[in-house]
Structure 1
Amino acid sequence: MRLNEVAYTDALPIDGYGPGFFRVGGEVHQGHILTGATGTTGWGGYEDADPLLALVGEVDVLFIGTGAEVAHIPASLRQQLEGAGIGVEAMNSPAACRTYNVLLSEGRRIALAALAV
């Protein structure tokens, strides 16, 4: 069987997650995160829109992980992001991590803001 090495962009993949943490590129981050080509930082949740809006022109799609369960993100946050030209896909955080990794491996311009599970 032939295996191909996956080449990521400057962004690092999500290696794992658990109660209250994410492991990104081998480094553990406690709490909610925002990750993409510019690095990984803590994220303040739905009320913390500024770092998400700073992604304008850098990403085409922002995945928002809603925690352990699927939930709607606040309508005002969705309107702000979409009004700024950022596509938004909300799903539970485990699914958002998996989807982020797949599209990252394709070299897509994406980011992930995820609530801890």
Structure 2
Amino acid sequence: MKFQPDKSDTLTITGYGPGWLAVDQQRHSTSLVVGSNGSLQVWDCTRFEDLGPAHFAQLAEAEVETIIFGSGNRLRFPSPAWLAPLIAKRIGFETMDTPAACRTYNVLAGEGRKVLLAALVEPAEL
């Protein structure tokens, strides 16, 4: 008996590696904001150090239950003050490294949840 569809109706992270992320088989080398509602946009940041309050205020505009933040190649946490717009709108927020964030997004999106992935894609180290 089969309970899960072979293909979900939402955008899926189909691969990732140093300096890239694939959404529905389309490879991207920039940071991305991916929504389970089908939205996909470039996130204007290349390194964790580039992030600021405006990046998280932008995320607060989404109509979602949860935001999964992929902090790049390693786990790093944004300043709590930057999360104020998310807290005000009662949007759940989780931080993890980008590979873990991609896997978590796929699970939640596959369950039909209103979720947003904000993935920092850092350039590959030479």
**Number of residue pairs aligned between Structure 1 and Structure 2:** 114
Query: What is the distance in 1 between the residues matched to 2:7 and 2:17?
Result: 25
TM-score (norm 1): 0.85
Query: Sequence identity, in percent?
Result: 34
**CA distance 1:6–1:103, shift in 2 (3 Å):** farther
| Match in the other structure for 1:12 | 11
Query: What is the distance in 1 between the residues matched to 2:113 and 2:102?
Result: 14
| Match in the other structure for 2:48 | none
Q: Indicate the RMSD between aligned Cα atoms, in angstroms.
A: 2.0
**CA distance 1:6–1:89, shift in 2 (3 Å):** farther
Contact 1:64 1:88 in 2 (8 A): yes
TM-score (norm 2): 0.79
Contact 1:59 1:86 in 2 (8 A): yes
| 4+ residue segments displaced more than 6 Å | none
**CA distance 1:54–1:69, shift in 2 (3 Å):** same
| Match in the other structure for 1:85 | 90
Q: Give the drift of 1:40.
A: 1.2
Segment of structure 1 superposing worse, 32-41 or 78-87: 78-87
Q: In the alignment, which of 49, 55, 61 is matched to residue 56 of structure 2? A: 49
What are the ranges of 5 or more consecutive residues in structure 2 without an aligned counterpart? 46-50
Q: Give the drift of 1:2.
A: 5.2
Query: What is the distance in 1 between the residues matched to 2:59 and 2:30?
Result: 17
1:72 and 2:71 aligned: no
What are the ranges of 5 or more consecutive residues in structure 1 without an aligned counterpart? none
Query: What is the distance in 2 between the residues matched to 1:73 and 1:64?
Result: 9
